[in-house]
């Protein structure tokens, strides 16, 4: 007798963190499983812990091995944490990709902006439509979020139906796009849902997230009252927000100037997709200077303080076309992503010092989150009535609170897991049944590095305490054949007594070699190691920090 199929779920990214989403659904048994991948996103590195690393991606070793059993990659929406790793990782998988029209168009535009645009085919599925992918049938159910065309996925299998919510909120007046499809979700609940895999981002926040329409009202009011120039920065992909800003400008006769490439790209795709129908034409940055201060509004990239983006350059008076002066106003219609506080703070303080008014979401309703707060989570559970709930898309605290809320709502089974867990959803009791390989990859320049690789660890150490390089030449008897070479990089020149540290190290290297026993001196490795230890401990004594130290021993 053949055993029945098993439906499994395995996060490879996105659980225990916000970012780098990659979820797998499996059906079958053992090596016979077919896999469906949902989303393939990135996280962003922070300069302090990961110097030089901009992007972090899920390690897809497991999927590469299972490539022939992978029926496809489905995208819920095109925020970077859900699709940002495709350019780098798809070549290892070469699987079909499915997304709705706007998502596919924005992805294509992103590919075309590459130096060598890759050819990655995407099959367009209509919003609300279904697609058969091997043993999975996937339905794209519209949900409100902070980007057009976000979808929850109803994944139908022989074992049962899973609702993968993706990122969502309940916004009955989302400005553009469809509100969350309550009717369809209730119908799904009537059909019976085995498992709900859901967004936990705002599970610690009580109440309901305000609507985009309320943000639009605030923006209109602020723009109306502004006397000088106005600059608004927001996430480029938030097309509702772009529309709200455009409406606010039009109401008071201001022209909208678009500044920044990511913003231009989204505006173009949104126009082609019909999401900016009826919105006035925007102007290029080159025309900014032609309009009087009270007749212009700059819509800029750079809400996260990115140093090369439009806003940072404007704030530093470093933008060729767009300038701001005393009495002008900058609105941050955005939230600062954790890790970016310092860069954003730097820009805000810089603007204030120039006499520019700065408005943020700390004082005005100029931004709302695209994720569900607790009342919305409760509503979703009441519509879908799942047998099992697994919180995802959150840090440990968010997952924990979402799980607790689900139990309090009477969800019969609630399971929390971590990246790399293979979870049986059914039949039978849900359980973590196996571990699959998981981890992180760093994009370091053009190279994808294993997170365990030395490069970043060494850079962090060098950033903290510099590096000492020593070169020694030994003759056949183990005597110094010449003066040692000492190079100190990222290390202070003088100690507190004002003595040059490189001289001290130089003398120390000579005395260390000369005091070594004869036999040891003929072993270059032993000499190198003794010198290395001596140099590090001497610098620690002088300076209070232990730098990296490399000793090269040549025998002549």
Choose between 201 and 542: whose C-beta lies nearer to Zn ion: 201
**Is 75 in contact with 133 (CB distance < 8 Å)?**
no
Choose between 79 and 440: whose C-beta lies nearer to Zn ion: 79
**Where in 17-89 does DSSP place strands (E)?**
22-28, 34-38, 43-44, 53-58, 70-74
Give the tokens for residue 189: 């609940």
The single residue among 23, 73, 75, 79 that binds Zn ion, judged by CB under 5 A, is 79
What is the nearest approach in angstroms of Zn ion to the Cβ of residue 438? 18
CA separation for the pair 411, 75 (Å, rounded): 27
Q: Is residue 304 helix, strand or coil?
A: coil
CA separation for the pair 348, 236 (Å, rounded): 19
Choose between 12 and 329: whose C-beta lies nearer to Zn ion: 12
Stretches 77-85, 223-231, 300-308, 441-449: which one binds Zn ion (CB under 5 A)?
77-85
CA separation for the pair 503, 505 (Å, rounded): 5
What is the nearest approach in angstroms of Zn ion to the Cβ of residue 76? 8
Choose between 22 and 324: whose C-beta lies nearer to Zn ion: 22
What is the nearest approach in angstroms of Zn ion to the Cβ of residue 290? 37
Q: Please list, in sequence order, all residues whose beta carbon lies within 8 angstroms of the beta carbon of residue 281, skipping any fewer than 6 positions away.
A: none
What is the nearest approach in angstroms of Zn ion to the Cβ of residue 499? 55
Choose between 150 and 257: whose C-beta lies nearer to Zn ion: 150
Sheet holding 136-143, edge to edge: 130-133, 136-143, 150-156, 161-164, 195-199, 388-392, 413-414
What is the nearest approach in angstroms of Zn ion to the Cβ of residue 270? 16
Task: Please work out the total of residues on this chain that contact Zn ion, with binding judged by CB under 5 A.
Answer: 3
Q: Which of 273, 348, 270, 281 is nearest to 316 (CA)?
A: 348
Choose between 79 and 243: whose C-beta lies nearer to Zn ion: 79
**Is 413 in contact with 3 (CB distance < 8 Å)?**
no
- Looking at the DSSP assignment, which residues form a beta bridge with residue 10? 24
The single residue among 39, 59, 81, 181 that binds Zn ion, judged by CB under 5 A, is 81
**Is 276 in contact with 314 (CB distance < 8 Å)?**
no
Query: Backbone phi, then psi, for 13, in 5-degree steps?
Result: -175, 150
What is the nearest approach in angstroms of Zn ion to the Cβ of residue 59? 19
What is the nearest approach in angstroms of Zn ion to the Cβ of residue 145? 6
Stretches 25-33, 160-168, 431-439, 442-450: which one binds Zn ion (CB under 5 A)?
160-168
CA separation for the pair 173, 178 (Å, rounded): 9
Stretches 73-81, 204-212, 399-407, 472-480: which one binds Zn ion (CB under 5 A)?
73-81
Choose between 20 and 436: whose C-beta lies nearer to Zn ion: 20
What is the nearest approach in angstroms of Zn ion to the Cβ of residue 258? 22
Choose between 81 and 171: whose C-beta lies nearer to Zn ion: 81
What is the nearest approach in angstroms of Zn ion to the Cβ of residue 393? 6
Choose between 167 and 264: whose C-beta lies nearer to Zn ion: 167
What is the nearest approach in angstroms of Zn ion to the Cβ of residue 454? 31
Choose between 199 and 328: whose C-beta lies nearer to Zn ion: 199
Q: Which of 267, 242, 319, 256 is nearest to 291 (CA)?
A: 256
- Binding track, positions 119-158, relative to Zn ion; x by CB under 5 A: ----------------------------------------
Stretches 78-86, 225-233, 246-254, 546-554: which one binds Zn ion (CB under 5 A)?
78-86
Specify the DSSP element, H or E, that contains 270.
Answer: helix 261-272
C-alpha distances in Å from residue 130, one per residue of 51, 135, 205, 338: 43, 13, 33, 36
What is the DSSP pairing of strand 150-156 with strand 136-143? antiparallel
- Binding track, positions 166-185, relative to Zn ion; x by CB under 5 A: -x------------------
CA separation for the pair 385, 285 (Å, rounded): 50
Interface positions with Zn ion (CB under 5 A): 79, 81, 167
């Amino acid at each position: 007798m053949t055993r029945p199929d098993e439906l499994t779920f395995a996060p490879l990214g996105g659980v225990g963190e916000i970012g780098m989403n990659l979820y797998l659904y499996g059906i079958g048994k053992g090596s016979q499983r077919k896999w469906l991948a949902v989303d393939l996103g990135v996280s962003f590195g922070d300069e302090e812990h990961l110097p030089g690393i901009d992007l972090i991606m899920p390690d897809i070793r497991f999927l590469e091995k299972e490539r022939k059993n992978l029926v496809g990659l489905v995208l819920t929406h095109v925020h970077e944490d859900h699709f940002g790793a495709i350019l780098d990782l798809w070549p290892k998988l070469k699987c079909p990709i499915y997304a709705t029209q706007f998502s596919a168009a924005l992805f294509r535009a992103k590919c075309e902006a590459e130096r060598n645009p890759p050819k990655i085919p995407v099959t367009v599925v209509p919003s609300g439509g279904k697609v058969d992918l091997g043993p999975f049938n996937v339905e794209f159910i519209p949900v409100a979020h902070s980007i057009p065309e976000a979808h929850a996925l109803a994944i139908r299998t022989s074992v049962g139906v899973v609702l993968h919510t993706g990122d969502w909120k309940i916004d009955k007046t989302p400005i553009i796009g469809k509100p969350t499809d309550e009717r369809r979700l209730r119908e799904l609940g009537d059909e019976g849902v085995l498992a709900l895999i859901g967004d936990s981002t705002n599970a610690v926040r009580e109440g309901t997230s305000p609507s985009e329409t309320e943000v639009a009202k605030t923006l209109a009011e602020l723009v109306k009252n502004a006397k000088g120039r106005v600059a608004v920065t927001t996430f480029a992909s938030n097309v509702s927000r772009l529309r709200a800003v455009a409406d606010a400008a039009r109401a008071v006769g201001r022209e909208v100037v678009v500044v920044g490439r990511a913003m231009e790209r989204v505006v173009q795709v949104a126009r082609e997709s019909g999401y900016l129908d009826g919105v006035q034409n925007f102007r290029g940055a080159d025309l900014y200077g032609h309009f009087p201060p009270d007749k212009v509004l700059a819509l800029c990239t750079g809400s996260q303080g990115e140093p090369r983006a439009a806003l940072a350059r404007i704030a530093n008076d470093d933008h060729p076309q767009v300038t701001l002066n005393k009495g002008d106003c900058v609105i941050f219609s955005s939230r600062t992503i954790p890790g970016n506080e310092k860069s954003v703070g730097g820009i805000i303080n810089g603007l204030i010092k120039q006499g520019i008014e700065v408005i943020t979401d700390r004082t005005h309703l100029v931004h709302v989150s695209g994720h569900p707060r607790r009342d919305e989570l409760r509503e979703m559970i009441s519509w879908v009535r799942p047998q099992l709930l697994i919180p995802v898309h959150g840090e440990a605290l968010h997952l924990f609170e979402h799980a607790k809320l689900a139990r309090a709502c009477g969800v019969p089974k609630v399971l929390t897991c971590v990246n790399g867990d293979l979870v049986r959803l059914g039949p039978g009791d849900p359980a973590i049944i196996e571990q699959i390989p998981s981890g992180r990859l760093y994009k370091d320049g053009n190279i994808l590095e294993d997170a365990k690789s030395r490069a970043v660890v060494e850079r962090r150490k060098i950033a903290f305490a510099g590096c000492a390089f020593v070169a020694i030449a030994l003759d056949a008897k183990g005597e110094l054949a010449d003066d040692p070479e000492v190079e100190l990089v990222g290390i202070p020149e003088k100690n507190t007594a004002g003595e040059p540290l490189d001289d001290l190290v130089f003398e120390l290297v000579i005395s260390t070699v000369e005091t070594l026993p004869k036999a040891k001196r003929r072993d270059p490795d032993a000499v190198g190691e003794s010198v290395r230890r001596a140099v590090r401990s001497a610098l620690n004594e002088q300076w209070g920090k232990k730098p990296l130290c490399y000793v090269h021993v040549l025998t002549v």
